Amino acid sequence: MIGTVVNAATIVTGSLIGSVVNKGIKEEYQGALFNAMGLAAFMLGVNAVVSHMPDSQYPVLFIASLAIGSFIGTVLDIDGRFKRLTGRFTSSNLGEGLSTAILLFCIGTLSIVGPIESAVNGNHTYLFTNATLDFVSSMVLASTYGIGIAAAGVVLFFWQGLIYLGASFLSGFLSDALMAEISIVGGVLIATSGLSILKIKDCKTMNMLPSLAVPVVWFLLVGAFF
């Protein structure tokens, strides 16, 4: 769990620094940093998709996953429920930033594969790399939305902790093929988050989160009936 602890700590630290530096950064400079963050998120997502697509055993599974997951998420109104929840404790502006931060920090390939690699092989490299990226990202986000972005570090801790514990118990089921499919879907979600940051298209990425569970269900069905 050391990698997860470090990752969460860098987000909190970066948020603290970003919220303080915010006082000395002009609005146009904040916009430039935010654009850079959006482009980085978009390209990280695209890279995850392109890198893992050749390893996919079911090339159309990610399409089905996105369609089914988005439908379920929209019916459940995950995006709306999340915004209403954060709106009770924060400004609407911070709620938007916090949802972006949680997606950016938690749904990335490194954030998913990292704790699994840590639990199964004792390799913390992915998580330490992710921590470095999240440190910079949290400073940029906090410079725009404030210290509340640090809450994303708490969410990440529990998110990666659950993945770590799950991987420890299900190490035999988490095949490379399944991880490739999850990484492809996760890459798409990161890319859509980047589009939202750039204000190109609000894809309501929170509603797409159930898409990550579809490959898991598919592999369970394949393993049970084929």
Alpha-carbon dihedral angle through residues 193, 197, 203, 208, given to the nearest 10 degrees: 30
Q: Could you please report the per-residue DSSP string of 167-207? A: HHHSTTT--HHHHHHHHHHHHHHHHHHHHHHTTS----GGG
How far, in Å, are 19, 36, 121 from residue 151 at the CA level? Answer: 13, 22, 29
In this prediction the pTM is 0.73
Cβ atoms 187, 46 nearer than 8 A: yes
Which residues make Cβ contacts (< 8 Å) with residue 23, sequence separation at least 6?
none
What token pair was written down for 84?
């209403």
CA gap 127, 72 in Å, rounded: 30
Q: What is the pLDDT of residue 37?
A: 74
Q: Give 86-104 pLDDT, tens digit per residue.
A: 666 555 567 667 777 887 7
Q: Give 101-132 pLDDT, tens digit per residue.
A: 887 788 666 787 778 778 877 878 778 878 88
Q: Give 7-54 pLDDT, tens digit per residue.
A: 999 999 998 988 887 665 667 776 787 788 778 878 878 988 998 899
Q: Give 165-211 pLDDT, tens digit per residue.
A: 887 887 667 788 888 898 888 888 878 878 887 888 888 888 888 99
Which residues make Cβ contacts (< 8 Å) with residue 204, sequence separation at least 6?
73, 74, 79
Q: What's the residue count for the chain? A: 226
Angle of CA points 47, 52, 55, to nearest 5°: 160
Task: Annotate 29-90 with three-state secondary structure.
Answer: HHHHHHHHHHHHHHHHHHHHHHHHHHHCCCCCHHHHHHHHHHHHHHHHCHHHHHHHHHHHHC
Cβ atoms 162, 21 nearer than 8 A: no
